[in-house]
Structure 1
Amino acid sequence: MSKTSRLVTLAVTGLALAAPQVLPDRQSVPPTTPQPAPVEASYQELALDGPSVAAETKPFTMVGITWPSGVTGVQAKVRVQRAGQWSDWEPLRIEDEHGPDPAVPEGTERSGTEPLWVGDATGVQASAVTLDGTTVGDAKAVLIQPGVLATDADEPTVQSVEPEATRAPYPMPAMVSRKAWGADERLRSHNGKACARPKYTTTVQAAFVHHTADRNDYTRTQVPAMVRAMYTYHVKSRGWCDLGYNFLVDRFGRAFEGRYGGAQLPVLGAHTGAFNANSFGVALIGNFEKAAPTQAMLEKTARVIAWKMDANYRSPLATIVFDGSRLHTVSGHRDTKATACPGNQLYKKLGWLKQRINVLIGGSVSTPIYRFAKRIGFRSVGQPFWGEHRTKTGWATYFAARDVFYSVATGTHSTVGVFRARYRRLRPDTILGLPTGEYRNSAGGVKVQPFRNGALYWSKSIGTRPVAGLIYRKYAALGAERSRLGLPITDMYTVKGGLRQKYQRGWLTYNEHRGKVYVQYRSTS
C-alpha cells in the first residue's frame, strides 16, 4: 500500500446550523441561550480511498474515523471547514479500549477514534495512517448531524438541597433521561434485534471514570445533541448495541442517562472492555489531558457514583478483584488498560472523588435491609441486583435469591421462591403492602406469607393466590386457610357493585355500596 496518508477533502455548500457555534476561545458562555430551531439529523460515512477527494455533504457537527477491528497503531487527524474557513489539523483521540466484553459481542464492530464535536461544519479533511505512515485500509470518516430539537434548550429540574450525609441509601440525583435528551430507541435495533433488549450484569461492584476526549467549550444547549451524536457513533459507526457509557456528566454539572435498560439496574455497558461486568461507566464530557474538569461536574459525578454504590452497599474506599486484577471500587479507565483515559487532570481528581463519595454516603453502610441481609448471610440472599430503592411505603432491595423490604410499620422481611415471583407480578407494595413476616408452613402442605394488607397462600393444587383488603379481613376472621371456605382458587376479580374471590368451598363478595363482605358457601348436597 502507498505510504501516503489517505486524505479526503470535502468542499461543501449548505445552510448553517441554527445551533450555537462552538466558541473558538473555549470560554464559558452565558447561562441562557436562544431557543434552537429544529434541524434534521443525518449520518454520512466517507471512504478514505484517495489522497484528495472532493465531495458535497450535508452540514455536520461531530466527526470520527473508523477502521476494521484488529488494526492497531493508527494515527488519525481531521480539520473542518466552518463559515468558509478551515480549522487547524487536530489529532483524534484513539481510546479503543472501550467496547463490549470479548465474550459479549454486540454487532459488527469496528475500531475507531473518539468522536469530536466540531460545531457547525460544512467540510472535512481526514487522515488515518499507521505508525510507519502506511494508509489504513477501509478507513472511513464519519460525519454526524444529530439534529437540533426544540427541547435541547430545556433545563431539567435540579436538586437544590443536599440530603444529609448520614441518610442511607444516598438518593438518585437529578438526571436527564434518555427521552429528555432525545434518544431514538429504534436505533438500538440497528445491529440486530438482540441489541434492542438490554443485557444486565449480576450486580454493581465498581465504577469506572472516563472522559469523552471531546471539546471543553460546548454550550448548555449543545449537550443533548452531543449525547445523541455519541449514541449514533457508537451504534452505527462502532457496531455497538447502544451508547457505551451508563452515565454522562457535562461541564455544567448535569447528569445524563446513558445506556438503555433502567438507570437503577446493573445494565451491562460497553465502556471498559473486559471489565464491563458488575461495573458501570461514568463519562465526563470533555478532554481532561490538560484542562481540569469543573467543580460542578466533579460534584455531580460524585453524586451519581454515591447513589449507585450506596444502593448496592459498596465502599468507594475499597478494592476488589476484577478479571484477575485488583482495582479500586472507583477507578479510572487507565487503571484497566494502557490508555490515556480519563485524562491526567481528571485522573488526579480521583482521590478527591472517592473521599467526596464517602462523605455523601455517610462513611458506612447501616440500613435495616443491609443488616437483615448480613444477618442471614449474603450467600443466602445473593448479591444486590436492584439496589436499595424507595417503594410506595418503604424501601426494597432485590437480591439474587431474595427480595428484602423495610418500613417502620412492617419491619424488615423478605420474599423468596414462589412468593417472590408472585409478589413481583402484583407489583410490590400495592394491594398487599409490604411483608410483615417470612412465609410459614401451614397444615396440608399449605404455605402462607403475611403482608400489611393481606397474605399470599400457596399449595400445589392452587398455586400462589393473594387475598387483600376487606376480603382478607373477612377471610382471616373466618379462620383463613383453616376455615370452611378452604383456600382461594382465584385472584380477586371485579363483579357488578364490587369484588369477588372464589375459594375451594365458597365465595367472598365485597359490596362497595354497603362497604361489607359477604360469605357464601357451596352446596354440599
Structure 2
Amino acid sequence: MSRRGALGAAGAVAAAAAVTPLAAAVSGDEPAGEENSGSERKERAFPATRAKLADDATRPVSADFPITYVGLGWRGPHRGAQIRFTLPDGRKSDWQRVTAGCAGGREGSAGGAVTALAAAPDATGYELRLPDGVTEVRAMALDTVHGPRRTTKVPAERKRMRGLTYLTRADWGADESLRFLPDGTENTPTAFYPAQVMTVHHTATVNDDPDPAATVRAVYEQHAVANDWGDIGYHFLIDEAGRIYEGRWSGEDALPAHDSDGKLVTAFHTAGYNSGNLGVALLGDFVEREPTAEARASLVALLAVYAAYQGLDPRADVTFVNPVDGVTKDTALLSGHQDWLTTECPGGVLHRDLPALREDVAAATGRMQKRS
C-alpha cells in the first residue's frame, strides 16, 4: 500500500560549481522579477480535477464524469498496451496504442516501471489491452477540464526569471493539497542539493494540445497521487507555444526550483539520480515529431538561465554523484532521460537534437554571463 493509502486508512556529496548569490543570478539586461517579489495577486477560477482510481484495470472501467485523460502505470513491457474509450453516445472508439511515457520516481525506486497518460475524448469509460508479463497495473480516470470551479490567488502580473516569463504553479491551477497526506504532512518533503546536471524529457502526451494547462494538471495528479510521489515530477514544463510552467514545489523565497541558497529541489524525473538533477519536460510526443520552434527556443533559454546561474557548462561531460546515496554515473551534463534509465524519453527526434541543443544552450549561457 502506498504511503498515502496507508495513512489514509489509518485516519541529497559532491557540489557543483560555486553558486552565485541570487541577486547576481537575476541581474542583467532585464529587471530581476524574482518568483516571489510581493506583487499583488488576483483571484482566478480553475476546474477542480476529478479522479477515479480503478479497482481492477483489467476490466472495463466507467466514471461519472467526462474523462479527459487516463493515467496508467505498470511494470513490464513498454510496448503493446492498447486502450479504447466508451464515447458519450455509447459507441466504442477504435483500439489505439498507448505510448509509454516518462517513468521517473523517487530516489531508490525500483526499475521496470512504465507510465502513460492517454488523452480521452470526454469519454464515459475505457478498456485496456495489456501485453503479457505486465504486473502492478494501476489506472486513473481524470477530468481536468469540466470539474467544479476552484478559486485561487494568482499573480496579478506574469512572473519572470531573468527576463523569461513563466507560469507559476498558481497560474496553471495546481491544487496544493495534492502534496499532502491525510494527516497534513507533506507526502515528499522538499530537499535541496547543489545542482550538477540538467535532463530533458517529453511527457509523451498529445501534440497540438488544445489545453496544455489542463494537461499539466493531469500530469500533476498522476505523479502526485496515482504514482504517490507527492508532487509533479519535473522542475519545469514547456508547451508548444513556448510557455514555461513551474513544476516541483520549492517554496516561495527564491527562484523556482531552488532555495534561497541556490540549491536545487529534488524532483522525481530520473529515479535514483534525482538530487542535483534539473528536469525539464516538453509537453508532447517527440518520438517521430520535432518540437515547435517556440518550444525549443524556450527550452534553450530556460536551460541557459540555469546553467548561467549555477556556473554549469552545457557541453561538459561530468561524473554525477548522487548526494543521497553516493551512486555515481558518467554522463553529459545536459542529457536526455534515456541516458539515465531504460526509456524512450525524450523521444528519438528530440534526443538526436541534444548535440545541437548543447551548443545552443552554451552560446546563450555565454551571452548571459557576459551581460552579468
**TM-score range, shorter-chain basis?**
0.7 to 0.9
How large is the RMSD of aligned CA atoms in angstroms?
3.3
Counterpart of 2:319, as a letter, is: V
Residues of 2 paired with 1:363 and 1:40: CA distance? 42
User: Matched residue of 1:281: which SS?
Assistant: strand
Residues of 2 paired with 1:317 and 1:296: CA distance? 22
2:203 to 201, 207, 212: 212
What are the Cα deviations for residues 135-187 of structure 1, in whole angstroms up to 9, with x where unaligned?
A: x56533210112456999x998598xxxxxxxxxx925211000111111111
Cα gap change, 1:172 to 1:101, in 2 (>3 Å): farther
Cα gap change, 1:138 to 1:345, in 2 (>3 Å): closer
What are the Cα deviations for residues 370-404 of structure 1, in whole angstroms up to 9, with x where unaligned?
A: xxxxxxxxxxxxxxxxxxxxxxxxxxxxxxxxxxx
Q: Which runs of 5+ in 2 are unaligned?
A: 1-44, 259-263, 321-326
Residue 87 (str. 1) matches residue 64 (str. 2):
no
User: What corresponds to 2:33 in structure 1?
Assistant: none
TM-score normalised by length of structure 2: 0.73
Residue 42 (str. 1) matches residue 42 (str. 2):
no
User: What corresponds to 1:115 in structure 2?
Assistant: 117
User: What corresponds to 1:354 in structure 2?
Assistant: 358
User: Matched residue of 1:362: which SS?
Assistant: helix
Residues of 1 paired with 2:292 and 2:157: CA distance? 19
Residues of 1 paired with 2:103 and 2:114: CA distance? 10
Counterpart of 1:46, as a letter, is: A
User: What corresponds to 1:124 in structure 2?
Assistant: 126
Cα gap change, 1:147 to 1:190, in 2 (>3 Å): farther
Residues of 1 paired with 2:85 and 2:367: CA distance? 49
Counterpart of 1:333, as a letter, is: H
User: What corresponds to 1:99 in structure 2?
Assistant: 105
Q: Does the CA-based 8 Å contact 1:204-1:309 persist in structure 2?
A: no
**1:460-499 pair list within 5 angstroms:** none
Counterpart of 2:92, as a letter, is: W
**1:29-68 pair list within 5 angstroms:** 39-48=47-56, 53=60, 55-67=62-74
Cα gap change, 1:56 to 1:229, in 2 (>3 Å): closer
Residue 176 (str. 1) matches residue 180 (str. 2):
no
Counterpart of 2:192, as a letter, is: T
**1:385-424 pair list within 5 angstroms:** none
**1:101-500 pair list within 5 angstroms:** 101-102=107-108, 111-131=113-133, 136=134, 139-148=137-146, 157=158, 171=162, 173-190=164-181, 193-195=184-186, 198-219=189-210, 222-262=211-251, 263-265=256-258, 266-322=264-320, 323-362=327-366
The alignment-based identity, stated in percent, is 27
Residues of 2 paired with 1:172 and 1:238: CA distance? 34
Give 1:350 shift.
1.3
Instruction: Select the structure of larger CA radius of gyration.
Output: 1
Counterpart of 1:102, as a letter, is: G
Counterpart of 1:213, as a letter, is: A
Counterpart of 2:336, as a letter, is: G
Q: Does the CA-based 8 Å contact 1:206-1:309 persist in structure 2?
A: no
What are the Cα deviations for residues 200-245 of structure 1, in whole angstroms up to 9, with x where unaligned?
A: 33211211000001110212xx111111111111121111110000
Q: Does the CA-based 8 Å contact 1:151-1:180 persist in structure 2?
A: no
Q: Which runs of 5+ in 1 are unaligned?
A: 1-36, 160-169, 369-525
Residues of 1 paired with 2:232 and 2:182: CA distance? 13
Relative contact order, CA 8 A, sep 6+: which one is greater? Answer: 2
Counterpart of 1:207, as a letter, is: M
Q: Does the CA-based 8 Å contact 1:208-1:281 persist in structure 2?
A: yes
Matched pairs, number: 308
Q: Does the CA-based 8 Å contact 2:83-2:95 persist in structure 1?
A: yes
Give 1:63 shift.
0.5
Q: Does the CA-based 8 Å contact 1:190-1:236 persist in structure 2?
A: no
Q: Does the CA-based 8 Å contact 1:47-1:138 persist in structure 2?
A: no
